[in-house]
Amino acid sequence: MLSACILPIIESMKWLLPALVLFISNINSSFAADEEAPAPAENTSASSAAASPPAIPRTEPDPEASLLKELITKHDPITQVLQLTTSKEAEKLIGYYLPAAAPSPLGGIILFPDEQTHMDWPHKYRILREGLADYGWHTLSVYLPRRAEPPIPKRTLPALQAIKPVAETAPSEIASAAESTMPQPESPATNQTAEGTVPKDEEPTIDKPETEPYREQVFRLGNSATEYLQQQEVERFIIIGVGTGAAWAAQYVEKFQESLDLRLIMIDARTPSGEEVPDLLALLPEIESTILDFHHNTKGASSLLQPHEAPKYRLRTARQNGLKNFYQIRLPAHSTNEALLLKQVRGQIKRHFIQGEAAAQPTPENNTPNSSTKEKAPG
């Protein structure tokens, strides 16, 4: 009875089974065709264009150019921004100029900033250039360009490639490596190179680019500043140098003291680091005009400075050379009172540069012969 029921079902499945297998195979082939079919060319190009933006050329940051742009565009309304040309082509002097607030100016003041600051630094520079202009001086704060960084030396240690860690190297290998790194005697006529033997007369030479000394740039910028002030009918100049700017100011005064009427003021003087920099201790005895040396250092702070930076060494140099034109003024240590700095500088300028020089000039009364030397009647 059971077999009579199952046999019709089996007979019907013989027809349904091939149709089911064919249906499943068609579905699988359609899925495989969808996975292997490539995307249209237009869509690929559009997607690649959207995914890869146009390449932007790489640009190195230029902090000095950004600083100059900011100094030229952002300043107070009464300050005149100067771009003076120098004797060198395509070179310009950037400076902040303030005319004297007086009908008869006392002279011109040129400020040399420290290498870590700029011509309108809030500390020291702004109060001096604005305050001294209020008391009858033309002030011109110049921008000293950044000094070129020394090139990074190339590594010339090929022997490091032959050295292996000590734990992995036998004593015999260490000895052979040491012998290979020792300099070998050269023949008098030839020199061994990696490519072969080259006669000494034909040895390759490396042309080093000639760089202009930084002091020449300072001289040109200083001359451009004095020439501009001379156009304002200024004949007496005071060069104020702050920090490392004091060293460059001293070198400029020593260089042009015979052709210009220059005086020097140094504030917290420091010698710049590097090669071919001014030596303050050697420059001070060569300066004939009046020198004012302001500093904030105490005895304890001076011991932490380098010998060529400590104020006591500058004072000792002046005493050893008998400099009667050198005056050192100590300001309160760690003082942030900018008004006090202006008061001290203005007072010392008035004392030594105006009253002192006026008293030193000969007067008609001093030129007349002394009445005591005249003949008197007997008795």
What was the pLDDT predicted at 209? 46
User: For the stretch 163-201, what's the b/e string if a residue is b when 16 or more beta carbons lie within 10 angstroms of its beta carbon?
Assistant: eeeeeeeeeeeeeeeeeeeeeeeeeeeeeeeeeeeeeee
Work out the number of other CB atoms within 10 angstroms of the CB of residue 221: 25
Sign of CA dihedral 272, 277, 282, 287: negative
**Per-residue confidence at 263, pLDDT binned at 50, 70, 90?**
very high
What was the pLDDT predicted at 338? 80
What was the pLDDT predicted at 322? 94
The most confident of the ranges 91-100, 203-212, 257-266, 354-363 is 257-266
What was the pLDDT predicted at 81? 87
Threshold 0.85, pTM exceeds: no
Radius of gyration for the chain, computed over Cα atoms and rounded to the nearest angstrom: 41
What was the pLDDT predicted at 54? 72
What was the pLDDT predicted at 373? 42
pLDDT digits (tens, 9 = 90+) for 20-62: 666 666 666 655 555 554 555 555 555 555 566 677 776 666 5
**Lookup result for tokens 């699988």:** 28
Nearest to 111 by CA among 95, 88, 122: 95
pLDDT digits (tens, 9 = 90+) for 303-362: 555 656 789 999 999 999 999 999 999 988 766 678 888 999 999 999 999 887 777 776
What was the pLDDT predicted at 149? 64
Work out the number of other CB atoms within 10 angstroms of the CB of residue 214: 19
How far is residue 307 from each of residues 251, 268, 285, measured CA to CA in Å? 19, 14, 17
Average pLDDT, the chain: 74
What was the pLDDT predicted at 204? 40
What's the CA gap between 25 and 157, in Å, rounded? Answer: 70
Element (H, E) at 128: helix 125-134
Work out the number of other CB atoms within 10 angstroms of the CB of residue 330: 14
What was the pLDDT predicted at 78? 81
How far is residue 249 from each of residues 28, 128, 238, 286, 348, measured CA to CA in Å? 89, 16, 10, 13, 18
One-letter amino acid at 159 equals: A
Quick check: 277 pLDDT over 60? Answer: yes
pLDDT digits (tens, 9 = 90+) for 171-213: 555 455 545 545 555 544 444 444 444 444 444 443 444 578 8
Mean pLDDT of 117-131: 79
Range in 103-117, 201-215, 226-240, 310-324 with the lowest mean pLDDT: 201-215
Quick check: 247 pLDDT over 80? Answer: yes
Element (H, E) at 366: helix 364-367
Q: Hey, what domains does the chain have and what are their CATH numbers?
A: 81-145+213-359 (3.40.50.1820)
Range in 198-202, 280-284, 289-293, 331-335 with the lowest mean pLDDT: 198-202
Element (H, E) at 144: none
**Per-residue confidence at 86, pLDDT binned at 50, 70, 90?**
confident
